A and B are shown apart, each in its own frame.
Chain A
Amino acid sequence: MTPRAAIVAGFAAILALAVAVDLVARRAGSGVRPLSAALAAVLRSRGGRVAVFGAWLWLGWHFLAR
């Protein structure tokens, strides 16, 4: 396996893990909340909103404009 293929597989594995955690979190009785609910909880505070929107703006700049 080339280093590039291993890196792609690494990113794919992290994405698959995140999707799996979110699906498990949506099951009744789960102690973990889904990503959308966790984000909504972060957005309750002004500091959380600044951090989340700052990260969102940086992602747009980094991937689409830089």
Chain B
Amino acid sequence: MRKPLRTDNAEVDPAREVGADGVRPRPAWRRRAVIVGAVVAYALLAAGCRPLTRPALGAVLVAGIPLCWLGVRRRPRRAPSAGARSAAVWLSLLGLVAAFELGLWLGPDDPAHPTLSTLADPVLSTYPGRVLGYVAWVGSGAWLVSR
């Protein structure tokens, strides 16, 4: 019995395909692992800088400016419109957070009325807390760039 001729490329592994420039593209999982590794390595280094210092500002800018540049310049993926209802719901939540935070910021400046950043300070004053903070921040930036 003869095997049917294959007329499609459904079983071709995209990772094995060779591009026009002769270079094989990296598989998605490997690219993802490289990004995760880079984010964690950056966070471990950057968390060595204590907040309110110039090294900390440099650590934020050294990752923040390139990611912003990439994210703004990159051609966006096609995504369906969110719709008026979604926009209303999410903008209402954003407005609620902003109003709550602004009320605290304009209110009494004492430990009894902490803003969100004041509440985060005890966590971010420790090295493990800063590692988590940098992972969350740079990870979210990398995710935004990929959209």
Contact = CB atoms under 8 A, between A and B. Distances in A.
A8 interface: yes
A23 interface: no
Nearest to A49: B72
The interface size bin for chain B is 35 or more
B82 interface: yes
B19 interface: no
B67 interface: yes
A7 B81 contact: no
Interface in A37-66: 37-46, 49-50, 52-54, 56-57, 59-66
A32 to B, nearest CB: 5
Contact of B133 (A39, A56, A63): A63
B57 A53 contact: no
Interface in B102-123: 104, 111-114, 116-117, 119-120
Interface string A3-43: 11001101100100110010001000001110101111111
Interface residues of A, number: 41
Contact of A38 (B77, B78, B86, B117): B86
Contacts of A17: 93, 96
A46 B90 contact: no
A25 B144 contact: no
Given A33-B83, A53-B71, A62 B117 contact: yes
Contacts of B82: 33, 37-38, 41-42
List 3 tightest A-B contacts by C-beta distance, closest first. A41-B82, A40-B79, A65-B60
26 contacts: A4-B111, A8-B119, A17-B93, A32-B85, A32-B86, A32-B89, A33-B82, A37-B80, A37-B86, A43-B77, A43-B79, A44-B81, A46-B72, A50-B72, A53-B72, A56-B144, A57-B60, A57-B68, A59-B137, A60-B137, A63-B137, A64-B51, A64-B56, A64-B134, A65-B57, A66-B51
